[in-house]
Structure 1
């Protein structure tokens, strides 16, 4: 689960603006936001950087929260 859409909307950022900063298609960003596709680490970092560039003020863990079950298993 990610918080791309909620952070984007909370910061008043349009999906169009975020995808333009990323240089991606609307479909690609939409698939990541909806959870239909899982971004790799480099995409996660790019999304976080783009959100910050557009004024969201967030960290990688804010956008992509760590899996609690995985942390407890370690």
Structure 2
């Protein structure tokens, strides 16, 4: 799961502001935020960069937290 909406809403930024920077459709961003669509690495980096452009200081891991199953690693 991603935290796009969490970061965006906390900063008072509208989806359309993010859409404007990315040049994507609002539907696409909405689908990423809701989990109906999974962002690839390039899209994840673009979203994180756009959030930073909008003044949100965040990293890729902040917006797209790693979901590691530590039981499988051990």
- The TM-score, its normalising length taken from structure 2, stands at 0.93
Structure 1 stretches of 4+ with a deviation exceeding 3 A read none
Higher CA-based Rg = 2
Task: Give structure 2 stretches of 5+ with no counterpart.
Answer: none
Count of equivalent residues: 72
Q: What do you get for the CA RMSD once the two structures are aligned?
A: 0.7
Counterpart CA distance in 2 for 1:24 and 1:13 is: 16
Task: Give structure 1 stretches of 5+ with no counterpart.
Answer: none
1:41 aligned partner: 41
